[in-house]
Amino acid sequence: MTFLTDLQCSYCDKRYDADSLRNLCPSCGKPLFARYDLVGAKSRLDRDEIRSRPEDLWRYRELLPIRDTRNILTLGEGFMPLVHATRLESELGFDGLYIKDEGLNPTGSFKARGLSLAVSKAKELGVRALSIPSAGNAAGAMSAYAALGGMESHVFMPADVPQPFIAECEALGASVTLVEGVITDCARIAAEHNTDGDRFDVSTLKEPYRLEGKKTMGYEICEQLGWEVPDVIIYPTGGGTGLVGMWKAFDELQALGWINSKRPRMVTVQAQGCAPIVRAFHEGTEFAEPWEGAATIADGLRVPAAIGDFLMLNALRASSGTAVTVPDDAMLEAANTLGRTQGIFACPEGGASLAAFEELRSSGWIENGERVVIFNTGSGHKYAHLWSGSRAAD
């Protein structure tokens, strides 16, 4: 069973029933959040009982939105390792570094979490065809869960997306449309192709339940640290579902009485070639201006405009966090460091997390002994061209 009650607009607070299909708030056009009866959940759930459950994100199923467990589409997503990075610690002369390694998820990235939830809920609400604009990983994840649910999937990716992302979607039975431009152009074309309006759009934060899948990263980190939050979380940020989801998770966990009021300092890392949230954070604005000419090897970070911009900026500010950029070559170098020291073949976005950590450490923003969680958000396998290319040029 679930303690889901309804949906609430994250901006104007209006409430909507959670049992019909919805995208953005019909009143103000901002993202909707799933809400739960946390008072009821607090009296009925025991955090220590969770420990004996299967090791996937469905261990938190009462705080996820699926009403009938028969609608759950699962490939084993979630409950990824929180690695205490001791070899990396000794190389960097630091004590307290943890890697949340999301590369082991189905389809090789943490996008599996959000899409497992979104596609399961869409199935529960009777959807037969899905559509998604994606920088790469979200398209593969949606295709996998749509296949499992016997649903049609239509994916729209930038034409210059690395080939493995396209191959993955095709093998998973999706219809693939390549679009000149970036993810925001893909969104426009996806809407134009949906002439009958029968394809449900599961874009980041335009669909309410991907966030619920991503919030489980916050639940897991706390559970894995013995129901404590770390001091700092560094998150490679595109559309921001993970950042916003974890921030929501901490409030829910506190309402359940499973953690106290301490919060981690939340850090956004973006690419030097596409950093709308970092720029808005430092300019002190509520929303972010779109980034012109977005370019980076980290496909997941090539997001020039995000509907959840104000939610990310709020989490960064409310947590006394910060926002930094890193150049592409530093991401790759850091990915190699993760590989060489910890045996993790990281995506460039994961490299960005480590590069940001090193920068914040040397500026003194992070102090030795603080407990820091960095994210490797996906496997390096779909980005292998970044390595073989440099070798060939040697």
Ligand X SMILES: *Cc1c(COP(=O)(O)O)cnc(C)c1O
Task: Report the interface residues with ligand X, using CB under 6 A.
Answer: 109, 111, 137, 204, 236-242, 300, 347, 349, 377-378
CB of 119 to ligand X, least distance (A): 16
Phi, psi of 312 (to 5 degrees): -65, -50
- Return the number of the residue (238 or 321) whose C-beta is nearest ligand X: 238
Give strand pairing partners of 376. 101
- Return the number of the residue (208 or 240) whose C-beta is nearest ligand X: 240
- Return the number of the residue (2 or 376) whose C-beta is nearest ligand X: 376
CB of 49 to ligand X, least distance (A): 29
CB of 355 to ligand X, least distance (A): 14
CB of 13 to ligand X, least distance (A): 23
How far apart are the C-alpha atoms of 96 and 376, rounded to whole Å?
16
260 Cα distance to chain centroid: 24
- Return the number of the residue (151 or 346) whose C-beta is nearest ligand X: 346
DSSP string, 297-350: S-GGG--S--TTHHHHHHHHHHTT-EEEEE-HHHHHHHHHHHHHHH---B-HHH
* Closest C-alpha to 208, from 287, 96, 117, 141: 117
Q: Find the residue with minimal CB distance to ligand X.
A: 300
CA distances to 159, 352, 377 from 303, rounded to whole Å, are 15, 15, 15
How far apart are the C-alpha atoms of 243 and 186, rounded to whole Å?
23
CB of 252 to ligand X, least distance (A): 18
SS3 211: helix
Give me the residue label for tokens 């974890």: 246
CB of 145 to ligand X, least distance (A): 15
CB of 68 to ligand X, least distance (A): 27
- Cβ atoms of 221 and 247 closer than 8 Å: no
- Return the number of the residue (38 or 176) whose C-beta is nearest ligand X: 176
- Return the number of the residue (296 or 377) whose C-beta is nearest ligand X: 377
- Return the number of the residue (71 or 184) whose C-beta is nearest ligand X: 184
- Cβ atoms of 323 and 306 closer than 8 Å: no
